[in-house]
Amino acid sequence: MNYATQMDAARKGIITPQMVTVAQKEQMTPEALRELIAAGQVIIPANKNHKNLDAEGVGQGLRTKINVNLGISKDCPDVDLEMDKVKMALAMKAEAIMDLSCYGKTRDFRRKLVDLSPAMIGTVPIYDAVGFYDKDLKDLTADEIFEVVERHCDDGVDFLTIHAGINRGAAEKIKRRERITNIVSRGGSLMFTWMALNDRENPFYEYYDRLLDICRAYDVSLSLGDGCRPGCLHDATDACQVEELITLGELTRKAWEKDVQVMIEGPGHMALNEIAGNMMLEKRLCHGAPFYVLGPIVTDVAPGYDHITSAIGGAVAAANGADFLCYVTPAEHLRLPDLEDMKEGIIAARIAAHAADIAKGIPGARRWDDTMAQARADLDWEKMLGLAMDPDKARRYRESSQPEQEDSCTMCGKMCAVRNMNRVLAGKDIQLND
């Protein structure tokens, strides 16, 4: 049977090969997964031109996925370094990579990325449009913007971040300057600027059906960007953010009418006590569509440690319904991350995602921890190191400080509680002072 998109197939009762792959990974039946996709509560970003994709699902009842941002810029145009970052992201099991390139031979990099990566690939076409046409932003036409969108789809990108919700109505609220940080979304600010300079409506909003037709043709999922996301705690859950979310809910329904898969991007900075409410609000206003959160960063005062502030927020967000976490590195707000920054950001995001999966009762999530607990109870150091989320770092720490007793560590030595309890319960003597 023929189908246009994963959602189209699901609604026709068709189980696609991608659904089979995802169902196996998620320990669920393909039929149960198909029903969730048909309802828009799960998406499988899977461009028809991404031939080596190892499909992943995002949404209700599935493992929380993480995304890694990278890409070349005018200040940091080193393509080889960015490809090294791609390889690290894949080695560290990121399920998605977003190419945010905005300078130079972006198409060459994007095509290499798609060819190399079994992970799903996302882009933000408006970033690429200015450099591709070598024009000022105000001189870009709507047709040129959509040509870049189609080029990204043709290159095999699985999902696009499109800031269609920041329309002229939302822009008027921003102009009232009730926020401290105004717009911090790069894509949102570009669309705001284009509208202001041209005195026109956002072309992604005005010609949304055209966008949907392109996505349907390639089976590209839409990540509806939150152009009005808060850039500081003060701006969280304000009228700009909520009004845009209402608009994104309306755009979600329109996308579903054309069988285009959708996820919603969520808040950036937000106090800890606001996160659960925001997750519920998104799910209600956007009809249960998967939620992709950028953080949330839970305090504004820790530059250099925002992989931690975002992991705290991400764990709470995912435990309360968010489905997809964008990693944040220690370099956030400061500079382009290097390889070590990337690694710390990925691990922090994976910790947050896994902690949330335990809370959500995702099949198999708790088993990993229980297996580690048993290895610790058995003082099986090799098994503990093998089970670690970052085995290399765990082994490096272990080997850097050798204990007198091989079954302990240098924190407690012979006073190790686990070691002594094992010996006492086995009827053995304990000598602490010899």
Q: Closest Cα partner for 415 from 425, 400, 403, 427? A: 403
Please tell me the distance from the alpha carbon of residue 288 to that of residue 306, in angstroms, as a whole number: 29
- 227 assigned ligand-binding residue: yes
Quote the CA–CA distance of 411 and 401 in Å, as a whole number: 9
Is 226 annotated as contributing to ligand binding?
yes
User: CA distances (Å), 70 to each of 113, 119, 295, 339, 378, in order?
Assistant: 11, 14, 16, 11, 41
* 83 has binding-site annotation: no
416 appears as a binding residue in the annotation: yes
Backbone phi, then psi, for 54, in 5-degree steps? Answer: -100, 95
Name the residue among 42, 20, 18 with its Cα closest to residue 29: 20
Residue 228, annotated as binding a ligand: yes
Position 190: which residue type? Answer: L
3-state secondary structure of 55: coil
Q: Is 98 marked as binding a ligand?
A: yes
154 is in an annotated binding site: no
Q: Is 102 annotated as a binding residue?
A: no
Does 286 show up as a binding residue in the annotation? no
Find out whether 326 is annotated in a ligand binding site: no
Asked whether residue 185 is marked as a ligand-binding residue, the answer is yes
The annotation status of 186 as a binding-site residue, yes or no, is: yes
Q: Where are the beta strands (DSSP E) in 105-201?
A: 120-123, 159-162
Residue 163 known to bind ligand: yes
User: Within its chain, how far is the Cα of 224 from the centroid?
Assistant: 13
Q: HSE (CB half, 13 Å, CA atoms) of 327? A: 29
Reference 42, options 195, 225, 263; nearest CA is 263
Rounded distance between C-alpha atoms, residue 346 and residue 96, angstroms: 11
69 is in an annotated binding site: yes
Residues 145 and 208 sit within 8 Å (Cβ to Cβ): no
Given a contact cutoff of 8 angstroms between Cβ atoms, the answer to whether 156 and 130 are in contact is no
Confirm whether residue 333 is marked as ligand binding: yes
Give dist(CA 5, CA 116) in Å, integer: 23
Phi then psi for residue 215, to 5 deg, are: -60, -40
**Helix, strand or coil, per DSSP, at residue 97:** strand
Contact 290, 282 (CB under 8 A): no
State the DSSP string of 311-376: HHHHHHHHHTT--EEE---TTTTTS---HHHHHHHHHHHHHHHHHHHHHHT-TTHHHHHHHHHHHH
- Asked if residue 28 belongs to a known ligand binding site, the reply is no
Helical H runs in 176-305? 186-198, 203-206, 208-218, 239-257, 275-285
Annotated binding site for substrate: 69, 98, 127, 163, 185-187, 226-229, 265, 292
Annotated binding site for Zn(2+): 269, 333
Annotated binding site: 69, 98, 127, 163, 185-187, 226-229, 265, 269, 292, 333, 409, 412, 416
Annotated binding site for [4Fe-4S] cluster: 409, 412, 416
